A and B are shown apart, each in its own frame.
Chain A
């Protein structure tokens, strides 16, 4: 296994609510990336954190926000949930600086918005 853990694994919310997803990165990894994967699609990049700073952001609105903690774990927050936010949210850890760019994914958090 990758050593990347995510919680919760499944959750159901209603439109307008807020959600927080959590991720613990693999030991020794200082970079965490979040992806959204809708059914039948590839993972879409949301943002990346490197040493507690946002290091890149994809084409997602500001209601998607995140942070990274000193131990390199991370949170993804989504406000004002919409039906289209229903997806698998994947956290991936990696080692920057000299790394090869490979990502190690957690099992994901499956969000359903009703």
Chain B
């Protein structure tokens, strides 16, 4: 089993739709979790951190489920500009701050 797994998609959704991605991780002792956004041929940029019970920022909500070892990202009222690849990243235990990334989930929002 890979350390961090994501469905690569693509997820094709119309504007205004709500879409959710999941990311599973194998190490139950993982410390912290992140969602990064990566536009085509660009660098990843931090979208949200996910701590304890989750995080919300406008249309974006991230949740952590430690029992089932996954994090999720919910995007409400999708915009064309949300089209990108969403990478999840998981920090291992021990405070090394060397996150492992999933392969990313591609989102395409169409008119």
Q: State which size class the interface on B falls in.
A: 20 to 34
- CB contact between B104 and one of A33, A42, A45, A96 (< 8 Å): that residue: A42
Are A106 and B87 in contact, with the CB atoms below 8 A? no
**Whole-angstrom distance between the alpha carbons of A78 and B3 in the complex?**
26
Q: Give the residues in chain A near B57, CB-CB below 8 Å.
A: none
Q: Assuming A90-B43, A107-B42, is B34 touching A102 (CB within 8 A)? A: yes
Q: State which size class the interface on A falls in.
A: 20 to 34
Chain A minimum-CB-distance residue to B51 = A100
In the A-B complex, list the 10 residue pairs whose CB atoms are closest, starting with the nearest: A42-B101, A105-B43, A101-B97, A42-B103, A101-B91, A43-B101, A56-B98, A101-B32, A107-B43, A42-B102
> Given contacts A55-B96, A101-B32, could you give 11 more A-B pairs where the C-beta distance is less than 8 Å?
A42-B4, A42-B101, A42-B102, A55-B98, A56-B98, A94-B97, A96-B97, A102-B34, A102-B49, A103-B44, A107-B42
